[in-house]
Amino acid sequence: MRVTSLRDGYVDMPVRRLRQPGDKPFGADLPSRVPLFDGALRLSVNAFAIDDGREITLIDTGSSNAWHPTMGFLPQALSEARIAIDRIRTVAFTHTHLDHIHGLILPDGRDGFPQLSRLLVPRPELDMFRAVARLQRFHDRAQPFGAGQRLSTDIETIAIPGHEVGHTCFRVASGGETLLIWGDTVHVPSLQFDRPEIAWEFDADQAQARASRLRILGLAADNGHFVAGAHLDSPGVGRVHRTETGFRFEPL
């Protein structure tokens, strides 16, 4: 099995998106280790292709031309990785926020993945997906999946609700190793491994997101699993270790 990290681009976000417990934004108390670009946080936007030798499952699709022009480079990333789009038969979403779903349709209106036969959406977010007008022609094709569901012999879902109601981690196991493709568990890696209590303004439920983050960080650290994150600095794959007070990310 081969997993490829694909960089759709990046998005710059104001520091106020970071939330301390109690929904309190940072001001001058933002730790200096958090890098800023013109005063903004820079989040990489990544998708992941899982190739089991027969077909490719794509986890998330980037944002195409539906958000900032610093994103939408998934097609170039696929071509750089020499992944033929015709081999992508399954697309599964970690959740239905716009930087994860809009790559289904290219900026010119064509389908991003012409041979798509399975489009998997977290069941609690099926209605949210079907409310996205730009993706109307995919509304009826979307199949819901639930927690603890096996998508193939090697891929299983883990519910990590909070960032969004159906937020999902994909557990990929092969050859004795495990990778957790965990979506938006961490938005700002320079801060949230060390201080996993810090939440994100766009979390649908910050307290629940915090609890899910702690659970999946612990799972990864205690079992030596690899993790792959949609907003970890590209390529966004590595291991997690416990520290005295929190966690530490070791990039691959």
d(Cα 52, Cα 88) in Å, to the nearest integer?
11
By CB under 5 A, is residue 60 in contact with Zn ion? no
By CB under 5 A, is residue 184 in contact with Zn ion? yes
User: If we measure between CA atoms, which residue out of 168, 248, 181, 187 comes closest to residue 44?
Assistant: 187
Q: Which stretch binds Zn ion (CB under 5 A): 2-10, 23-31, 165-173, 184-192?
A: 184-192
Q: Taking the complex as a whole, how short is the minimal distance between the CB of residue 235 and Zn ion, in angstroms?
A: 16
d(Cα 41, Cα 11) in Å, to the nearest integer?
8
Q: Which is nearer to Zn ion, 138 or 182 (CB)?
A: 182
| CB hemisphere CA count around 44 (13 angstroms) | 21
Q: Which is nearer to Zn ion, 99 or 203 (CB)?
A: 99
Q: Which stretch binds Zn ion (CB under 5 A): 14-22, 98-106, 210-218, 242-250?
A: 98-106
Q: Taking the complex as a whole, how short is the minimal distance between the CB of residue 97 and Zn ion, in angstroms?
A: 5
Residues in 124-183 at the binding interface with Zn ion, rule: CB under 5 A: none
**In terms of residues, how long is the chain?**
252
Instruction: Evaluate the omega torsion of the peptide bond into residue 235 and state whether it is cis, within 30 degrees of 0.
Output: yes
d(Cα 218, Cα 228) in Å, to the nearest integer?
15
Interface with Zn ion (CB under 5 A), residue from 8, 60, 99, 125: 99
CB-nearest residue to Zn ion: 184
Q: Which is nearer to Zn ion, 99 or 125 (CB)?
A: 99
**What is the C-alpha radius of gyration for the chain, rounded to an integer number of angstroms?**
17
d(Cα 104, Cα 22) in Å, to the nearest integer?
36
Pairing verdict, β 199-200 and 177-181: unpaired
Q: Which stretch binds Zn ion (CB under 5 A): 47-55, 96-104, 116-124, 128-136?
A: 96-104
Q: Taking the complex as a whole, how short is the minimal distance between the CB of residue 182 and Zn ion, in angstroms?
A: 11
Interface positions with Zn ion (CB under 5 A): 99, 184
